[in-house]
Amino acid sequence: MVGERPLCSHCSSRAVFLDRESGAHLCSRHLKESVEERVLSRLMQEESLPDILGVAFSGGKDSTALLAALAALKDKIPSRLIALTVDEGISGYREDTIRHAKEVCNKLGVEHRIICFTGLFGRSLDEFMKNSNRKACTVCGILRRRSLEVLAEQEGVRLIATGHNQDDHAQTTLMNAFSADIKKVFAGSGSTSRFARRIKPFTAVSEREVTLYAILSDLFMDLPECPYAGEALRGEVRGLLNRFEQEHPGSMRNLARAEEGIRERLKGKIQYTPMETCKICGWPGSGEICQVCILLDKH
Ligand SMILES: [Zn+2]
Ligand SMILES: [Zn+2]
């Protein structure tokens, strides 16, 4: 019949997703199972999982899907989940996403903790930006990272799962190639025992699948975009890669894998600059005074 959706390759239900690379059609149940299997397999690559697994939970679609997938796997993983949300204080945008975040946690039965810039730094992001000529995303990135670390420390969280998906990894790989700054790219900012470790369970899950997972879990909500917008370069790379993937299915996955492969091969070969301890706040940083204290004008 014209317009009727094809059947799932694994059962007799109607398909909701076509894996263009393998040609497999998947129904709602099998798509969700396939996503959850990949998340579980990523988690199982860890030597051991801690008692508490923190989930960086902005309330957006990626972290919503991640929280839902982890909650669906609760009988298969030993860790208790805690959703960690940072409220940056962005008016006209954050109110809706925070409300959505609370609803999602209620629905999934996951503990939820929120930390806000105003409480921690005395100012919201909007207030920080009033007298700043720095890029909002840079300022926000620095403060959000610290907020998440503080919240994780308060909650005894030593491992934080983030919602980065396969497309994000592919974009990062290409952006890294464009900038050719291997050290900056793969050495990261270094880590110390004070920072919680990060894990990205959606590394092998495409953005299309993540979005569909959120929709099929009945947790998708069309939320406003951040008024400070995103990185311009990433947007361009995203468009470019999406067009390329359309023509050559599988490219996105290969590019994302390339990033993991390079990272794996560079392990132990890059000299990390040891982090210093900030003279003012005592948190690890890249100089005598950390980026957060510089932003707070404490120096
Ligand atoms: Zn099926
Ligand atoms: Zn500091």
CA dihedral 264, 268, 272, 277 (to 10 degrees): 100
Quick one: which H or E segment has residue 276?
strand 276-277
**Å from CA of 289 to ligand 2 middle:** 5
pLDDT value of position 262:
78
The residue whose two tokens read 């510089």 is: 294
Q: Choose from 65-79, 183-197, 283-297 the range with maximum mean pLDDT.
A: 65-79
**Å from CA of 12 to ligand 1 middle:** 6
- Which of the ligands is closest to the CA of residue 32? 1
How does pLDDT run across 69-89, given as a tens digit for each residue?
A: 999 999 999 999 999 999 999
pLDDT value of position 205:
96
DSSP, collapsed to helix, strand or coil, labels residue 19 as: coil
Q: Look over the chain and give the mean of its residue pLDDT values, rounded to a whole number.
A: 90
Quick one: which H or E segment has residue 104?
helix 94-108
Selection from 290, 299, 298 nearest residue 143 by Cα: 290
CA angle 143, 149, 154 (to 5 degrees): 125
With 90 as the cut, is the pLDDT of residue 152 above it?
A: yes
Average pLDDT over residues 216-235: 83
How does pLDDT run across 23-37, given as a tens digit for each residue?
A: 999 999 999 999 999
pLDDT value of position 299:
59
**Å from CA of 20 to ligand 2 middle:** 48
Average pLDDT over residues 261-282: 81
Quick one: which H or E segment has residue 116?
strand 111-116
pTM of the model as a whole? 0.91
Selection from 173, 298, 286 nearest residue 237 by Cα: 173
**Å from CA of 295 to ligand 2 middle:** 9
Q: Using CA atoms, how far apart are residues 33 and 1, in angstroms rounded to an integer?
A: 28
First to last CA, the chain: 71
Percent pLDDT > 70 in the chain is 93
DSSP code at position 274: P
Report all structural domains of the chain as residue ranges with CATH numbers, in order of start: 28-270 (3.40.50.620)
How does pLDDT run across 100-150, given as a tens digit for each residue?
A: 999 999 999 999 999 999 999 999 999 999 878 888 888 999 999 999 999
User: Tokens at residue 155, please?
Assistant: 């909650």
- Other Cβ atoms less than 10 A from the Cβ of 156: the count is 12
Amino acid of residue 26: L
**Å from CA of 293 to ligand 2 middle:** 4
